[in-house]
Amino acid sequence: MEMLTLSHVAKSFGSKQVLRDVSFSVPEHTVFGFVGQNGAGKTTAMKLILGLLDADGGEISVNGRPVRYGNTPTNQYVGYLPDVPEFYDYMTPEEYLCFCGEIAGMPKGERKSRSRELLRLVGLEQDNRRIKGFSRGMKQRLGIAQALFCRPRLLICDEPTSALDPVGRRELLDILVNVKEQTTVLFSTHILSDVEHICDEIAFLHEGNIVLQGPLEKVRRKRRDTGVELELARTEEVKFLLSEFPFLELSGSNRILLKEAKKLPDVLRLIADRNLAILRLERQEAALEDLFLEVVGK
Amino acid sequence: MRAFLKKEWMEWVRTGRFFLVLLIFALFGIMNPAIAKLTPWMMEALSDSLAKTGIVTTEVTVDAFTSWTQFYKNIPMGAIVFVLLGSGIFPQEYQKGTLIPVVTRGLSRKKIAAAKSLMLLFIWTLSYLLCFGITYGYNAYFWDNGIAKSLFFAGFACWLFGIWLVALLVFFSAVSANSPQALLGTGGIVAACYLLGMIPRVSRYLPTKLLEGMPLLQGISEPGDYSACLAAALGMSLVCLGLAAVCFERRRL
């Protein structure tokens, strides 16, 4: 079942058309990567899904129900982590989470136990001081706890990793993967390695349109050629291969790159005939980054 | 809405604003009778030096009126402090984006606006009662409040002025992007009322007239003379709060 559907959504601010015609859908229990350059309109799209902005055209539905501007009832299914989460500085993390639970109408006992459980999940259970002294990474983790508090069916994260150090990023990505069982995750980013680590499906947003979308594997396969890299043990054998096949390229010490994969059998035949010692033969994965650069036309 | 009221209360208390506003109003409350009590002493101490400059001082008699005169002079100052402390209630949340998680969690915007307004009304009422109560108590102890006519009606009118101020503040801070804008809007309306007050025919309809308590106390004016400005203040307050709710509903957070 589709947890989130956008069809032909458009939005402009004054004369600036931010989203032209955006359509995509997010199946249940997937981690969906929403990729785009800075300023591509990712945050705008997310705010439209949350009913915080009024769309100029198109339809958005969450869990089968339409989103409308203002107080949208679909927000009961959604947990949201803004790009720079801000809290009431004078509260402690537990007080803040209990406040969120109370607003959502959760009974008192459950609020307490749920906030402890989530603070443990994000590793903040020891920090009982006020939020005022929190670092950016700690705020981000508290933001995740806050977003997950009411067991949302859809978790929306706006560039959750962009301001974190490598350790913080890894931890946050792990949290996102872990919650996949309970919820559906839509997260926006321009960091492609994050997408490769955790996403099942992706959509590329460029100049207000979705230029590429689908399951990660399928999108990767769209790239025309994937080369093969060979690593040999001896330098003279590398030289021999290069002289036999002019289409091969040296890509490092004792490493050869074959760009046209269909010529691989010829190369392998020669290697077998001459009994050359290969250390490694690897099909090169299409880097998402190349694909991204390709679709944005750079 | 209870949760949001609790949060507002926590904000006023933990940021220290609540105690600050109480302290200031308590100080004003003590100062009113204190200044009245000290006036004869000060005049006596200064009479020699004043005599040299040619000013002859006679014996000053002070009573509850002297203290209440101070009260009505000081209340506008207190109101300014209160408005300054309260002007950030909406703009701070807009700037930091702290209302987004609250709204996306399903709390209606009307309830947010209502909780913020109620908290302001409560704090104004509490501070005002403190100031009024302290002055009243000291006056009763040192002199006699009995000489003042319509004392409680005048006190009520002055309180209502604060309510009108709160309504203006809620409206302007709901539509402004930052607290200086909210202050400018609220201050602008009050200043405009003061200026219009110079035209005698208009002055009786202006909420700023509610601050003129002394004529009531001295028996020069009757409570009935204040009905027009009472109605104006009430009407304007309701309109401001209504407009604030409507604007806040449509506002981009």
pLDDT of residue A226: 67
pLDDT of residue B244: 93
Q: How much is the ipTM here? A: 0.84
Chain B environment of A150 (Cβ under 8 Å): 105
Structural domain that includes position A235? 228-290
Name the pLDDT band for A167 (thresholds 50, 70, 90): confident
CB A88 to CB B104 under 8 A? no
A295: in domain: no
What does residue A228 show for φ and ψ, rounded to 5 degrees? -125, 135
Domain boundaries, chain B: 2-250
Residue A195 pLDDT > 60 = yes
Chain B CB within 8 Å of residue A13 CB: no
Helix (H) or strand (E) holding A79: strand A78-81
Beta strands at A255-258 and A228-232: parallel, antiparallel or unpaired: antiparallel
Q: Are residues A102 and A177 in the same domain?
A: yes
Which chain A residue has its CA at the smallest distance from B111's CA? A103
Chain B CB within 8 Å of residue A83 CB: no
Beta bridge partners of A17: A12
Q: Are residues A173 and A245 in the same domain?
A: no
Q: Are residues A183 and A245 in the same domain?
A: no
Q: Which two tokens stand for residue B122?
A: 């409560």
CB A100 to CB B101 under 8 A? yes
Q: Give me the amino acid identity at B241.
A: L
CB A70 to CB B252 under 8 A? no
CB B97 to CB A87 under 8 A? no
Q: pLDDT tens digit string along B93-114?
A: 988 889 888 888 878 889 999 9
Chain B CB within 8 Å of residue A107 CB: no
Average pLDDT over residues A122-151: 87
Q: Are residues A232 and A194 in the same domain?
A: no
Q: Are residues A122 and A212 in the same domain?
A: yes
Chain A CB within 8 Å of residue B247 CB: no
Q: Which residue did the predictor score with more confidence, B169 or A193?
A: B169
Residue A221 pLDDT > 80 = no
Q: Are residues A191 and A252 in the same domain?
A: no
Q: What is the CB neighbour count within 10 angstroms for residue B133?
A: 14
A278: in domain: yes
Final residue of a structural domain among A205, A221, A237: A221
CB B253 to CB A52 under 8 A? yes
Task: Say how many Å lie between the first and final Cα of chain A, rounded.
Answer: 36
Q: Mean pLDDT for each consecutive 10-residue tract of chain B (253 residues)? A: 91 94 94 87 79 74 86 92 91 88 84 93 95 92 85 91 94 89 92 89 86 84 87 94 90 79
Whole-structure pTM value: 0.80
Nearest by CB to B98, from A51, A88, A147: name it: A88
Question: CA A80, CA A91: separation in Å to the nearest integer?
Answer: 20
Which chain B residue has its CA at the smallest distance from A73's CA? B106
- Give the CATH number of the domain where residue A7 resides: 3.40.50.300
A63: helix, strand or coil = coil
Chain B CB within 8 Å of residue A69 CB: no
Q: pLDDT tens digit string along A20-47?
A: 999 999 999 899 999 888 888 899 999 9
Chain B CB within 8 Å of residue A108 CB: no
Q: Give the distance from residue A68's alpha carbon to the nearest chain B alpha carbon, in angstroms.
A: 12
A79: in domain: yes
Nearest by CB to A82, from B14, B97, B250: name it: B97
Question: CA B78, CA B70: separation in Å to the nearest integer?
Answer: 12
Q: pLDDT tens digit string along A230-271?
A: 888 888 888 888 898 888 888 888 888 887 778 888 888 988
Chain A CB within 8 Å of residue B54 CB: no
Which B residues, 14 through 33, put their C-beta within 8 Å of a C-beta on chain A?
14-15
A296: in domain: no
Helix (H) or strand (E) holding A216: helix A216-221
Contact B208, B157 (CB under 8 A): no
Chain B CB within 8 Å of residue A91 CB: yes
Chain B CB within 8 Å of residue A134 CB: no
Nearest by CB to B106, from A76, A88, A91: name it: A76
Nearest by CB to B97, from A86, A90, A91: name it: A86
When divided into structural domains, chain A yields a total of 2
Nearest by CB to B102, from A51, A73, A103: name it: A103
Q: Give me the amino acid identity at B60.
A: V
Q: Are residues A198 and A241 in the same domain?
A: no
A123: in domain: yes
A297: in domain: no
Q: Give the distance from residue B184's alpha carbon to the nearest chain A alpha carbon, in angstroms.
A: 26
CB A70 to CB B109 under 8 A? yes
Q: Are residues A211 and A239 in the same domain?
A: no
Chain B CB within 8 Å of residue A76 CB: yes
Q: Are residues A175 and A255 in the same domain?
A: no
A280: helix, strand or coil = strand
A130: in domain: yes
Which chain A residue has its CA at the smallest distance from B250's CA? A70
A298: in domain: no
pLDDT of residue A225: 61
Q: Which of B5, B104, B116, B253 to mutate to test the interface with A (most CBs of A within 10 A)?
A: B104
Q: Which of B13, B95, B105 to mutate to test the interface with A (most CBs of A within 10 A)?
A: B105
Final residue of a structural domain among A221, A255, A272: A221
Question: CA A62, CA A170: separation in Å to the nearest integer?
Answer: 29
Q: Are residues A280 and A150 in the same domain?
A: no
Chain B environment of A99 (Cβ under 8 Å): 3, 6-7
Question: CA B184, CA A175: separation in Å to the nearest integer?
Answer: 46
pLDDT of residue A298: 60
Q: Are residues A153 and A250 in the same domain?
A: no
Q: Give the distance from residue B1's alpha carbon to the nearest chain A alpha carbon, in angstroms.
A: 7
Q: Are residues A216 and A235 in the same domain?
A: no
Final residue of a structural domain among A173, A206, A221: A221
pLDDT of residue A286: 62
Q: Give me the amino acid identity at A187.
A: F
